[in-house]
A and B are shown apart, each in its own frame.
Chain A
Amino acid sequence: MAETTDPFVRFQGIQKSYDGETLVVKDLWLDIAKGEFLTLLGPSGSGKTTCLMMLAGFETPTHGDIILDRTPINTVPPHRRGIGMVFQNYALFPHMSVAENVGYPLKVRGVGRADARDRVRRALDMVELGALGSRRPAQLSGGQQQRVALARALVFEPSLVLLDEPLGALDKTLREQMQYELKHIHETLGVTMVYVTHDQSEALTMSDRIAVFNDGVIQQLDQPSMLYEHPGNAFVAQFIGENNKLMGRVEDVAGDRCRVRADSGDLVEALAIRASGLGERTLMSLRPERVSVNPPPGSMPNVFDAEVLELIYLGDHLRSRMRVCGQTDFIVKVPNWAGHVHLRPGEHLTVGWHVEDCRALDA
């Protein structure tokens, strides 16, 4: 699909090494469409921030080209790339007022004073800080500083905005609120945003597409729902959302289904995603909320005995740790709706799940 429309940003076989011995980014190919909200998601050290820094111009690719709007930008210094950037700790200039901070990109571009003041006011209004222009950054709360940083990165109307874990320093409520605001600003302005985070819920909330990074390689690039429902490999399944793991050996494969002999001896039916060879070790991934407790007999192909080991009350649902197929860290989420099953520690019962919810992946 990259051939049909020209991508806005294109990483062409990017490799990056700091010490000449290990590759932090290994052969990255990535297209970003105009107006897209793309998240680079991964654990620390996975190469996601390095990619962002190469795009911003603060790091040079060891090999490969980055194309921005059909122009290779490897030799363009950061200040001529015209990319807006929001940093992890906001990087507001403490010796300038909020309005001066927001107006700085306009000042260096030589925008006229009256025009600049107008645009600063509009940018501050957009992030609902219109009244605080004369304050110093130190007088603002973390959330407010975050908005100023955002206004500053947007005020010169860049077509690409990079965000490097911008919400990492905020508390949970504020973070969630900011996620929605960011999303709305993205929709309103239609700018392309590349967002780096290690928080998967943040990525799921905001992104059009998510690139899951690990070990310098994109493990999977897909829409949030696809990533969650159809993880392509064990790493993605583990990293996005909670996940039960059952190890086993493939007994037989029929079409997209397979049967796996779990290490406990139980036979599990699963979707064969990455498990093709007979006798191959495989890891079956199963979301905790897709497990039914005491399913009606015959309704599901996979039904096993279970013992409740631990219960945690979490308000909207109950988390239960159970012993299933010989594993003691099997998590089941029971929604707290009217008439839900009441569990007690030590109780013996059955759990079951559909074939579609259990994915046999690489071991």
Chain B
Amino acid sequence: MADATPLAPAGPPADDILRTRDGVPLKTTLRRVTRRQRLIALGLVMPLLVFIVVTFLAPIGMMLLRAVDNPVLQTQIPRTVALLASDWDGQGPPDERIFATLAEEMIQQYKAREIARVGTRLNYEQSGLRSLITKTARTIARRGTPPWKETFVAIDDRWGDAKTWGIIRQASSRYTPSFFLAAVDLRLDWRGDVVAQPEEKRIYGLMFGRTLWISALVTALCLALGFPLACLLASLPLRQSNLLMILVLLPFWTSLLVRTTAWIVLLQTEGVINDLLVWIGMLSDEGRIQMIYNQTGTIIAMTHILLPFMVLPIYSVMKTIPPTHMRAARSLGATPARAFREVYLPQTLPGVGAGAILVFILSVGYYITPALVGGRTGEMISNLIAYHMQKSLNWGLAAALGALLLAAVLVLYWLYNRLIGIDKMKFG
């Protein structure tokens, strides 16, 4: 062939896309080449990913759902709920038709032994309603006759009150904000307005406040104790610092329960510290100090247990600060105190931030220690959550409290990111 074609690529269109010699866009080729590596990488992280989704993300999602989920009345007394929503004006007791429907459904649930669930659910809104439901159901199931309106009111006056019906209507929506409202000491009244809980029932605000206060105090104490310790660890020669590090880590290797119990032995009124103080005459035998089963006990034990979480991040950051920085500052004319304040301290901040946020988040959700040594004044929000999970079985409220706790931690995390930057956080 005499008419030699120029040695140009076969037919790349005249655009700006980079292409390989055979005309395939460079990006496509690159993707094809790296696909294998990406698949292998994905395969390697898959077990962990599945584990996290199943054991962590899914439960959190379910918890958040449960905090607003409200299926009881809709499944137990569906027709009454529907009629209340459509045919009742909210003024005075509803008409006979609604009474009749409720009676029919109550008898049905009573025979199925399910009526207690309705009572329990309504009792969250207004205490006393459980016994009302149980009593009414039992009575009408045995000898109830129409007209139902009169029968109901005869059993209990409250059936004649629009408020009771309002509460039933209120509690019957499929999703409800009432758990969240209860978690911040608010509630919906029977008209659907948000009002404060009565004085004697406002405990969650107090408990959230106390939890935050104890956590902040524990964080501050850990910082006060842990910073000098980390300083010492970072400046000692390796042999000694390793030994000291083992002492710091030793609590990690002992059971949480053992450590907490050890504090009981030390701090109780007949315990080691009180005995010692009485023996050396600083206290009289009657004047023994109550240091456990109260807030003091919670704070002491939690500070001890969480201290390593403060020391380790600070230590790891301090380790990276060259000792020449302090020397340089001093050679430039700064006194040792000033060099520490202006050169050393600012460089430890990422570690201090990481340690503080770690300790604070851990203490906000702390459960075992307050439960064992907290007594009444040392209880924290997690103890209340456990109470609702295990004793009162009000899972909706427990979930709402948990969700608020989660939100608080996330806000904190966001704040930290804004102030210091999460990328600067160093845990070790």
Contacts and interface: CB of A to CB of B under 8 A. Distances in A.
A92 to B, nearest CB: 8
B76 to A, nearest CB: 63
- Chain B at the A interface: mostly helix, strand, loop or mixed? helix
Interface string A40-67: 0000000000000000111000000000
What band does the interface of chain A fall in when counting residues whose beta carbon is under 8 Å from B? 20 to 34
Given A93-B343, A94-B347, A79 B322 contact: no
Contacts of A83: 331
Contacts of B333: 79-80, 82, 105, 108-109, 156
A79 B328 contact: no
Interface string B336-347: 101100110011
Given A82-B333, A83-B331, A108-B338, A91 B324 contact: yes
Contact of B347 (A89, A95, A153): A95
Contacts of A80: 333
A152 B332 contact: yes
A218 B428 CA distance: 44
Interface string A62-96: 00000000000000011111111101110101110
Nearest to B343: A93
A284 B346 CA distance: 58
A195 interface: no
A104 interface: yes
Contacts of A88: 324
A77 B331 CA distance: 9
B79 interface: no
Interface in B121-149: none
A164 B277 CA distance: 56
B319 interface: no
B324 A89 contact: yes
B394 to A, nearest CB: 50
Contacts of B334: 79, 104, 108
B322 A108 contact: no
Interface centre among B322, B327, B338, B347 (most CB of A within 10 A): B327
A79 B330 contact: yes
A91 B328 contact: yes
Interface string A224-245: 0000000000000000000000
Smallest CB-CB A-B distances: 8 pairs: A91-B328, A105-B332, A85-B331, A91-B324, A78-B330, A95-B346, A108-B334, A108-B333
B335 interface: yes
28 contacts: A56-B327, A57-B330, A58-B327, A78-B330, A79-B334, A84-B332, A85-B328, A87-B324, A87-B328, A89-B322, A89-B324, A91-B322, A91-B324, A91-B328, A93-B325, A93-B328, A93-B329, A93-B343, A93-B347, A95-B346, A104-B329, A104-B332, A108-B332, A108-B333, A108-B334, A108-B338, A153-B331, A162-B331
B79 to A, nearest CB: 69
Contacts of A85: 327-328, 331-332
A79 B343 contact: no
Given A93-B343, A95-B347, A156 B328 contact: no
B14 to A, nearest CB: 40
Contacts of B338: 108
Contacts of A105: 332-333
